[in-house]
């Protein structure tokens, strides 16, 4: 088999998930020549993607949204309505909104990705003025992780918990069967716009994450608490990925990591798609103006925001369920700007610093704050054995 080459394009994008496809699409719209590489470029993305509506860039059409929740609910000590519209993205609609007409699309696996050259497994090479690496996250290992197990349930079956137009962003009610001596998790549940609702038990911040069998058990316990019985044939979704992928260093001769691979995975929430979509044009404009995309994407204030969010991630990973409820209750009673600074804003470091301080200050009892900032119980759940039930749980 002969070795082929694609030479001297403006941009090569390696990885055609939503972020990579958006980057390639916007580069084409800006008049740049583009080559895109992905092992399965025509595959529809498996995960469910969602975000706050106001995070999406103006250029993305409404057809990319599958369902909208005007006021999602957060359950901490009580039910809190968040006055900020939230949405689930349509995978088909998002893909159709990001056509790659005019790009050279190569179906293959990249084995080497450098600053200006990409080599595929079949020997094909691509040379480009700029290479973006959007292949997602590397393997997890024992890094701090987001873990989730989702079950897709028919909307009429799900109605006792989630009705049309409603959604549970975080549900900390004590219904998952976990005891006080077990690592915490919460329920995420939203209508997907296709007649189904996802129920997804989620863990944030544990080193190595929470296993799928434990998350599934907790999800089923929650559903049973509301009289929802499943057939066992419902489709499922599994998520398990690191939350601590750092922003890239500037001034280094390398491909530009972008999206979750480039530090855009939110350390405290596990969201990345909306932030990545919003930053696509920043990267493309930097190329057009001859500036370093990494420097433009990650100014000092954005790096400071990331640093502060990492402190939040470390705090999440060592809290008990009771402490998590107290902390989230304090946070979701903060000002709208403070909430946005933690959940969304890429570089609002002043509001983020204030809301982190106030969240710690309003977490009660007082001594729990020591765990939150890492003065005590820094490695509380390290090496926790999920297959060995704690005594308190066994007695129940």
| Last residue within a domain, chosen from 242, 266, 283 | 242
| Last residue within a domain, chosen from 242, 259, 286 | 242
- CATH number of the domain residue 55 falls in: 3.50.50.60
> Of the given ranges (34-48, 136-150, 269-283), which has the lowest mean pLDDT?
136-150
In a domain, 82, yes or no: no
Same domain for 198 and 162, yes or no, is yes
Which residue has better confidence, 364 or 28? 28
In a domain, 382, yes or no: no
The pLDDT of residue 40 is: 97
* 8 Å CB contact between 128 and 118: yes
Domain around 57: 5-68+93-137+248-298
| Last residue within a domain, chosen from 242, 260, 277 | 242
The pLDDT of residue 396 is: 34
> Of the given ranges (130-134, 165-169, 230-234, 386-390), which has the lowest mean pLDDT?
386-390
* 8 Å CB contact between 182 and 201: no
Same domain for 156 and 275, yes or no, is no
Which residue has better confidence, 58 or 138? 58
Give 328's Cβ-side CA count (13 Å radius). 30
Q: Where does the chain have alpha helices with state H? A: 18-29, 91-96, 155-158, 212-225, 273-288, 293-297, 300-316, 321-331, 336-343, 349-361, 368-373, 391-395
pLDDT over 90, % of the chain? 86
Same domain for 151 and 162, yes or no, is yes
The pLDDT of residue 57 is: 97
In a domain, 78, yes or no: no
Eight-state DSSP code of residue 314: H
In a domain, 157, yes or no: yes
Same domain for 273 and 206, yes or no, is no
Confidence of residue 2 (pLDDT cuts 50, 70, 90): low
What pLDDT, in 10s, does the model give residues 332-362?
A: 999 999 999 999 999 999 999 999 999 998 8
In a domain, 378, yes or no: no
In a domain, 393, yes or no: no
Same domain for 52 and 160, yes or no, is no
The pLDDT of residue 139 is: 72
Confidence of residue 390 (pLDDT cuts 50, 70, 90): low
What pLDDT, in 10s, does the model give residues 111-148?
A: 999 999 999 999 999 999 999 999 988 776 789 999 99
The pLDDT of residue 3 is: 62
What pLDDT, in 10s, does the model give residues 255-268?
A: 999 999 999 999 99
Same domain for 133 and 278, yes or no, is yes
Same domain for 103 and 40, yes or no, is yes
In a domain, 395, yes or no: no
Please give the Cα distance from 202 to 378 (Å, whole number): 21
Rounded to an integer, the average pLDDT of 35-40 is: 98
Same domain for 328 and 360, yes or no, is yes
Confidence of residue 217 (pLDDT cuts 50, 70, 90): very high
- What value does the mean pLDDT of the chain take? 93
The pLDDT of residue 349 is: 92
What's the token pair of residue 223?
């559903």
Tally of structural domains, the chain = 3
The pLDDT of residue 395 is: 32
Concatenating the DSSP letter of every residue in 65-130 gives EEEEESS-EEESSSEEE--S-EEEE-HHHHHHTS--TTSEEEES-EEEE-SSEEEETTS-EEEEEE
The pLDDT of residue 131 is: 98
In a domain, 379, yes or no: no
Which residue has better confidence, 252 or 312? 312
Same domain for 37 and 132, yes or no, is yes
Same domain for 10 and 129, yes or no, is yes
Please give the Cα distance from 172 to 76 (Å, whole number): 5
Same domain for 48 and 125, yes or no, is yes
The pLDDT of residue 59 is: 98
Same domain for 17 and 133, yes or no, is yes
The pLDDT of residue 252 is: 78
State the distance between the two ends of the chain, measured CA to CA, in whole angstroms: 64
């Amino acid at each position: 088999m002969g070795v082929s080459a694609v030479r001297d394009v403006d941009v090569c994008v390696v990885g055609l998930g939503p972020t990579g496809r958006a980057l390639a699409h916007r580069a084409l719209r800006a008049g740049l020549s583009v080559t895109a590489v992905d092992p399965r470029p025509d595959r529809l993305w498996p995960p469910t993607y969602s975000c706050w509506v106001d995070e999406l860039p103006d250029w993305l059409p409404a057809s990319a949204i599958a369902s909208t929740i005007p006021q999602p609910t957060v359950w901490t000590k009580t039910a809190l309505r968040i006055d900020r519209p939230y949405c689930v993205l349509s995978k088909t609609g998002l893909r159709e909104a990001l056509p790659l007409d005019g790009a050279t699309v190569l179906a293959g696996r990249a084995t080497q990705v450098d600053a200006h050259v990409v080599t595929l497994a079949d020997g094909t090479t691509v040379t480009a003025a700029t290479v973006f690496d959007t292949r997602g996250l590397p393997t997890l290992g024992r890094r701090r992780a987001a873990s989730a197990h989702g079950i897709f349930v028919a909307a009429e079956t799900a109605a006792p918990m989630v009705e049309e137009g409603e959604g549970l962003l975080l549900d900390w009610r004590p219904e998952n069967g976990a005891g006080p001596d077990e690592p915490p998790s919460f329920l995420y549940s939203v209508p997907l716009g296709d007649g189904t609702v996802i129920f997804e038990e989620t863990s944030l911040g544990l080193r190595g994450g929470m296993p799928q069998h434990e998350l599934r058990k907790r999800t089923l316990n929650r559903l049973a608490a509301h009289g929802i019985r499943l057939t066992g044939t419902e489709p499922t979704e599994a998520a398990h990925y690191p939350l601590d992928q750092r922003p890239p260093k500037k001034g280094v001769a390398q491909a530009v990591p972008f999206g979750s691979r480039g530090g855009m995975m939110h350390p405290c929430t596990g969201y990345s798609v909306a932030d990545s979509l919003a930053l696509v044009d920043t990267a493309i404009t930097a190329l057009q103006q001859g500036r370093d995309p990494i420097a433009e994407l990650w100014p000092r204030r954005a790096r400071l925001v990331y640093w502060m969010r990492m402190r939040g991630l470390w705090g999440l990973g060592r809290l008990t369920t009771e402490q998590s409820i107290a902390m989230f209750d304090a946070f979701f009673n903060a000002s709208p700007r403070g909430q946005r600074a933690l959940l969304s804003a890429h570089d609002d470091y002043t509001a983020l610093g204030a809301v982190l301080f106030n969240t710690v200050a309003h977490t009660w009892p007082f001594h729990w704050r020591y765990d939150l900032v890492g003065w005590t119980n820094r490695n509380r759940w390290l090496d926790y054995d999920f297959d060995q039930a704690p005594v308190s749980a066994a007695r129940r």
